[in-house]
Structure 1
Amino acid sequence: MSDDSPPRAKFWDIEGWGLRWKVTAVLAVPVTVAMVLGGLRVQGELSNAVHFTEAADQIVVVPDIVALEASMGTVTSGYASGTLTKEDRATAESLMNDVAEQARNPELDPAVASSINQTVSDGRALLNLMDSPGVATDLLAERQRAFAADFIREVDDIVRPIEDSEVVDKGYQLTNAWQAQRRLFEQAMGLVIVKDVYASPEGREKARTGNIPTSAVVAAAGAESSLLDVLDRYYPKGDERLQTLRNNINDRNALIDKGLADAARGGVLPILQLRSSLIASRDVYQELTSEAAKDIASTVQVRAAETRSAALRDTAIVLGTLLAALVLALLVSRSLIGPIRRLRYGALKAARRDLPDAIEQIKASDDPRALSFEPVAVHSSEEIGQLARAVDDIHGQALKLAGEQAQLRLQINDMFETLARRSKSLVDQQLGLIENLEFEEKDPKRLESLFRLDHLAARMRRNGENLLILAGTRVRRSQAAPIPLGDVLRAAISEVEDYQRVQMGATPEGALSGTVVTDVVHLLAELVDNSLRASPPDTSVTFSFARAVDGGVLLEIADRGIGIPADDMRAVNERLASGGEVGPETARHMGLFVVSRLAKRHGLTVRLRSTFDTARNPGVTVSIHIPNALIVSQAARQDTGSQRKIPAAPVRTAIPAPAAPAPRKDNPQLPATRNGLPTRTPSTPAPSPAPAGVVATASGTSLPRRQPGASGIAAGAGSSAVAPAAQSRDTVNVRGSGAMPKLPVRRPQAATPESQSETAPAESQPQHAPRSENRIEAPPSSNGDDQSPVRHRYRTNSAKTASFFQSRIDPPPAEATPRPGGGTPIFSDMVSDWLTDPTGTEGAPGVWHSAGDAGWSAAERINETPVEVDPEIGLPKRRPGDRLVPGTVEGAHNTGTLRRVRDPETIRANLSRHQQGVRNGRATRLAERNSIEGDR
């Protein structure tokens, strides 16, 4: 399963939108269109309502304008004809003030209001002109016509923007009635001209001849009659007002004809009658125009109210429709998004939590097929429900496959573990055979080859343990006693082939909990082996130590190799921190997997960093943090009481003296027996040897008590002994008396002598005979017949291998043996004590006796004793102390501490053989089989 996030989608990439955004877009587009269209409709209705309202406020001035124009026509015609009255002028001035006041209406268009004010000013100027004497009639008529034209244009500006058919018809009705009314003014001005003609003698002369200018009157009357025909469309048929106007036209025509005839006979025109007819027609026209203007105003107000109601109605309809659409859209989207959201949650939960948890349970469960899962919470039968069932099927198939894989993995792990254990058992047998060959081999070259085989077999055994760790098997260890940190580190060093290149300084105090010693040794061995292989053969690998802040110990293993690139080192540290997850890199980096698995098992922290900052050969430093919980202090080890005190004098079977002692020779170099042992000639029959560590009493024998460490073996061989009765393994940190570590003589088929928790001061010992290069077998333990076979101490506990490298504090020897050139680090630290027996020598007057006489006799006897063979595996049985030689052998001269220098190659071979034997001789076949049965 990949945790990488997908690339961030662009906002214009619709496919990358989330489901909510897609559903929102699908629903938002039509809803938005509906809202826009509904809003436009409502806005149009509201705009019309506002427009009609404004028009209704503006149309109020139209009736006054029409009345003012008619009044100004009456005043002008009355002034011209001499029939003007004060009431007519007062009415005109009052109407001018009303129109000027309404021109201040803010609802009026500023241009229209300004034009009305200008026209009112022209009307006042016309009235003022009438006050001047001698004003021509033509000038007054012209000014009146201009005044009327301005008012007609202004009324048209007010009515024309109203886009309503009824208002338009009412406007046409008003305009036609107004135009017909203006024809009355033309008729009046024509009558004034006729009157002026008859007022002069020349006019009367023309009247007699019939040449009177009445065309203006006739034309104005004809125009009025035509406009009345137009007005018939706006009024009901046979309207009395229109008929009255027609009758007035006919009456005026008759009066004119009669007056012309009378004027021709010297009579006068009926001016007053004509004026009365014109005024009567004017009143009818004013009624028509006022009615038309009011109809326009009322129509506009009705339309304003209607548009307001329509706007409110459309707004309510649009909002209701939008709300219903939104509710429906939300219901549909919820029915779509809800199941998809539950499906997504269930699928992600199954992929990221349920399935991994179930797989972990499958890995930890004995029956992987017994697991169940929770289905996706979508129970519909439509497409989303079908998809949910498909996800459940995939989940179930994944769990089934994981169970089958886990079952198969368990089977493979079992086979893997069985094969690894069998291989490890075979390697252990191989190590035993190689050890026997090493014991019997005397050729240095062949012995070196056997050492190499021994190392190779040891590495094969460690690889077998790695395979067990890879299979997830946790080896059960019975070790419970704490092991000193120095011993743990030395045991790890002994696991590698090029141990000579490992340098280790002073080790920190404290001990490691016995339950983790084996795994820590294994971990350190893997790291040291890796450092040795990754660094040049002429360089060394160093151990360094420091106390951590939490009280634990920080170990560092530094090499001078080619190093690791920063990215690879970061990846390695991540794998170390992961705790040994099995992956494609596990087979290639088996050591890294084992280290991370062991570190996770015991809470250790392992990190890698560069040793140097140089670009060439930066090296790698491995830091291992051991927590304080795994560290046992010295005081805690003393208070635990788990260490068993070893008896100072273990009982051993006495060795009988030789039946026929050989005569003593003066030559100190005694002849050797068939085993290569020198022949001793005691002066008296050798008594039964005293137990090791017990000083001879008044029996008269010269055999001394054998003290622990008197022969240099116990202190160097190990730091713990095996209790014969309980088969327990308690480690005692025993330090000798030398500054350099002492190395024991390796006894094939025999364990090193048991060490005591408390050492007694060494007493004087007799001189010993020269040592032979052949190995001496010790006599069997006196209590060996009464106890079960004892595990070899080093096969039982790998950490005790470190006792081989344990340092002891001894006083410096009398003479320092020159260190051979080119020796190994371990050889350099131990060669002096290896070649020197720290026990003192003591001369004997007269007949020479030695504490080793019993040993020589015991060696002769043991050499003839047959070796007991284990019938199950066909290999000799090993018993600790069975072939231990009691007592010690000292030099023949009592001239101080004598150091005998041996061949360095022989010493190095002895050292390597002992190290390999101790490391590889950890358990007998019976102990291994018991351990295998216990693990299973």
Structure 2
Amino acid sequence: MFMIRNWSIRYKLLAVVCVPVLAATGFASVRITDRIDQVEQLSALAEQARALPAVVEYGTTIAIDAGLSMLRLPPVPAEMHLHAHQQVEQLAARPDLDPRLADQLTQLLGHGQQLKQAIDRNEWSTQITGEHADAFLTSVRHVIRAMLDRIDNTPALIAGSELLQVWDTQRLLLHQVTAFGMLIDDPRTGIAAATIPVGLELATLSESFTATTVSPDIEWLRAEAQRRQGLATAFDTRQETIEQLRTSLVGSSEHYRSAMTASTKTIADVLDNATATARAASLRDAALVLTLLGAAILLALGVAQSMVGQARRAREQALHIAHHELPAAIAHVKDGTDPTSLPTPSVTGSSTDEIGGLLQAVEIVNHTALRLAGEQARLRTQVAGMLETLARRTTDLIQQQLALIEALEHEERDPNRLGHLFTLDHLATRMKRTGESLLVLAGSPSQTRHDPCPLNDVLRAAVSQVDDYQRVRIGTAPAGVVIGAAVHDVVHLIAELVDNALRASTPDTNVTFAFSVAVDGGILLEIADAGVGIPPHILPDINTRMTVPDATEIHAPRQMGLFVVARLAARHRIQVTLRPTFDSPRGTGITASVYLPASLLAGLNHAAPVAALHHPRPLSTSGAGRHAHRSRMPR
């Protein structure tokens, strides 16, 4: 059941189709899943990139507030700081954010809140405030760097690198604010400290922003840096000078903020484009994979359905030919029809594949079988002709021998010699029955006579054709006659059954007859012996062959007599069956039941039985045909 070779073609094709389709589906699912994960990752990174301005804004606001405090100027509005703080807080609370990045943002908020409170209370000196503000900006840079490190897109990374570059340049403004604060406190010693960060800014603007795509207005920033450098060199403590420094620093900070906003926008746009591209690619891949899988499945199902349908049609046609057309054609051949005049059973199929080749092979096999049947029929006809010729020649010689023996019996007066002649007569009669059996096997027509014969005489004539006839007990038979056309065949049939019964039983047992009249006017004759019997597993097969005789089923020499009985019974619709003799005192034995239909009988009278003579006798020759029975038995 579980062996592949025993599977039907449908299941084999299903296995062949499903395995690669499932494998392709698995690989396609993995690829589509990867695409979807990539889209989700890019989408999440794009959302985080949109949050970069909030981090930059928060860091810039805290830095400006620290710078204004160091310059002893009013702080930035509280609502500006609150807005920036809330934006970063919302970003840290997002569920799709990396937990490590969320922790960094939380720490950044705490650091900024602590710095803001210290600035508001004016707890530190200018230098210490600058140091704390610079540490805070370093923390902001680490957060921005952590957010950029999650990005795996070259254009976005370039924009992120520019963002960090602008951020680092902007930090120089804080150093300048710290130096200017020291300059306000001590103009003599603060000039050198104030001019150094301005020079660094000028150098950075000249070297680092020449090839950037989102660089700020370099000329304006350079002019403002030179202006602050001049103010620092000729610094005085007038409020007008401090206001000029403040205006320059705030303006430069706004330019840097604009450049960083442009960088973050570029990063977000690049990631959005990458997300859209990845989403389109995933949809395209999914559509392509589904289309290819659908086409492959449809093609496989079409091919499988074609093969299964073709195989099913071939099977149905082959079975129909094997069970109906070919047996009918062979039956016509057996009846004598020329095989060449019969159409060869063929299967329809126009394909040139292996199944089509198989159909052609089946057609060739059918043609060969029909040809062999024809040859077998011709051989059987030839054998039957030879058997008939030999049987007729033998029968003619036996007839001559019987005529000679009969003439010698009429002339002989010596009882001993007459007894020997009677023995020769009996042997010749048995030989004549053997020749008639060959005629039956050859299929030649039966002997006929015109006048009917009493049933009692028919039985005695049958017994006269067997050896050891003294063991046969006919008993009382119903009064009636057998029609002339069936006399010789009935005699032959009963003689064969009696001969089998005598041969199958021991010499000290008898073979008995029993009679009963059927309701339809026929008669049932039973011939019982007490012999060795027939094995139970063979008896049904023998009864079947007795009902439908076939020359191909002859099991000579043991069952040749039974086949002759079947042939003779089929001529006159006589029913013959064999059954065990259960009431036999010795052995099981066999009882042959012979049903003679009413069409073979005339004048049947069960009320007036006729007692059979102790010794059998031959049939009267009056009215008999050319081959009438002429045996004589001692009385």
2:524, 2:132 → 1: CA distance?
121
Among 163, 186, 211, which residue is 1:174 paired with? 163
Alignment of 1:870-885 (within 5 A): none
Which residue in 1 is equivalent to 2:272?
Answer: 301
Which residue in 1 is equivalent to 2:634?
Answer: 913
| Cα drift, residue 418 of structure 1 | 2.9
Which residue in 2 is equivalent to 1:406?
Answer: 377
Which residue in 1 is equivalent to 2:433?
Answer: 462
Among 40, 60, 64, which residue is 2:50 paired with? 60
Which residue in 2 is equivalent to 1:593?
Answer: 563
What is the one-letter code of the residue matched to 1:632?
Answer: A
What is the one-letter code of the residue matched to 1:497?
Answer: D
Which residue in 1 is equivalent to 2:213?
Answer: 235
Answering whether residue 60 of structure 2 is matched by residue 70 of structure 1, we say yes
Answering whether residue 598 of structure 2 is matched by residue 632 of structure 1, we say yes
Cα distance, 1:613–1:531 mapped onto 2, change above 3 Å:
closer
Answering whether residue 453 of structure 2 is matched by residue 621 of structure 1, we say no
Which residue in 1 is equivalent to 2:500?
Answer: 530
Among 183, 193, 205, which residue is 1:214 paired with? 193
Cα distance, 1:99–1:462 mapped onto 2, change above 3 Å:
farther
What is the one-letter code of the residue matched to 1:173?
Answer: E
Answering whether residue 123 of structure 2 is matched by residue 134 of structure 1, we say yes
| Cα drift, residue 326 of structure 1 | 6.4
1:510, 1:550 → 2: CA distance?
15
| Cα drift, residue 461 of structure 1 | 2.8
| Cα drift, residue 441 of structure 1 | 5.8
SS at match of 1:214: helix
Cα distance, 1:346–1:184 mapped onto 2, change above 3 Å:
same
Cα distance, 1:543–1:73 mapped onto 2, change above 3 Å:
farther
Among 325, 333, 336, which residue is 1:362 paired with? 333
2:615, 2:359 → 1: CA distance?
75
| Cα drift, residue 61 of structure 1 | 1.9
| Cα drift, residue 177 of structure 1 | 2.8
Answering whether residue 86 of structure 2 is matched by residue 97 of structure 1, we say yes
Answering whether residue 552 of structure 2 is matched by residue 582 of structure 1, we say yes
1:339, 1:106 → 2: CA distance?
61
SS at match of 1:235: coil
1:227, 1:575 → 2: CA distance?
119
Cα distance, 1:391–1:742 mapped onto 2, change above 3 Å:
closer
| Cα drift, residue 434 of structure 1 | 4.1
| Cα drift, residue 300 of structure 1 | 2.1
Residue pair 2:539, 2:578 contacting (<8 A) in 1 also: no
Cα distance, 1:793–1:592 mapped onto 2, change above 3 Å:
closer
1:549, 1:178 → 2: CA distance?
127
What is the one-letter code of the residue matched to 1:913?
Answer: P
1:430, 1:176 → 2: CA distance?
141
1:77, 1:527 → 2: CA distance?
138
SS at match of 1:537: coil
1:603, 1:113 → 2: CA distance?
108
Alignment of 1:400-549 (within 5 A): 400=371, 402-435=373-406, 437=408, 449-450=420-421, 452-475=423-446, 477=448, 493-502=463-472, 519=489, 522-541=492-511
| Cα drift, residue 297 of structure 1 | 1.9
What is the one-letter code of the residue matched to 1:306?
Answer: T
| Cα drift, residue 365 of structure 1 | 3.7
* CA RMSD across the alignment: 5.4
| Cα drift, residue 233 of structure 1 | 3.7
Residue pair 1:45, 1:311 contacting (<8 A) in 2 also: yes
Q: Deviations over 1:155-193 (max 9, x none)?
A: 55554444332223233333333333344445444555x
SS at match of 2:443: coil
What is the one-letter code of the residue matched to 2:168?
Answer: Q
Answering whether residue 281 of structure 2 is matched by residue 310 of structure 1, we say yes
Cα distance, 1:134–1:311 mapped onto 2, change above 3 Å:
closer
Alignment of 1:9-158 (within 5 A): 10-11=3-4, 44-79=34-69, 82-83=72-73, 85-87=75-77, 89-109=78-98, 112-113=101-102, 115-117=104-106, 119-128=108-117, 130=119, 134=123, 148=137, 151-156=140-145, 158=147
What is the one-letter code of the residue matched to 1:310?
Answer: A
Q: Deviations over 1:262-313 (max 9, x none)?
A: 69xxx99965544443332322222122222222222222222233333333
Q: Deviations over 1:867-921 (max 9, x none)?
A: xxxxxxxxxxxxxxxxxxxxxxxxxxxxxxxxxxxxxxxxxxx9x514xxxxxxx
Q: Which has the higher contact order (CA 8 A, sep 6+)?
A: 2
Residue pair 1:483, 1:517 contacting (<8 A) in 2 also: no
| Cα drift, residue 429 of structure 1 | 3.9
Answering whether residue 233 of structure 2 is matched by residue 244 of structure 1, we say no
| Cα drift, residue 600 of structure 1 | 5.3
Q: Deviations over 1:11-35 (max 9, x none)?
A: 1x6xx88777787788888877776
Structure 1: any 5+ residue segments left out of the alignment?
A: 1-7, 644-730, 752-788, 802-909, 915-936
Residue pair 1:546, 1:554 contacting (<8 A) in 2 also: yes
Which residue in 2 is equivalent to 1:834?
Answer: none
1:189, 1:620 → 2: CA distance?
137
Residue pair 2:452, 2:487 contacting (<8 A) in 1 also: no
Structure 2: any 5+ residue segments left out of the alignment?
A: none
Cα distance, 1:108–1:415 mapped onto 2, change above 3 Å:
same
What is the one-letter code of the residue matched to 2:327?
Answer: P
Cα distance, 1:536–1:157 mapped onto 2, change above 3 Å:
farther
Cα distance, 1:562–1:240 mapped onto 2, change above 3 Å:
same
Question: Identity across aligned pairs (percent)?
Answer: 34
Q: Deviations over 1:226-284 (max 9, x none)?
A: 48844544317xx552343444444444444444xx69xxx999655444433323222
With structure 1 as the length reference, what TM-score do the two structures score? 0.55
| Cα drift, residue 496 of structure 1 | 3.1
1:361, 1:348 → 2: CA distance?
19
1:333, 1:95 → 2: CA distance?
68
Residue pair 1:482, 1:512 contacting (<8 A) in 2 also: yes
What is the one-letter code of the residue matched to 2:46?
Answer: A
Which residue in 2 is equivalent to 1:278?
Answer: 249
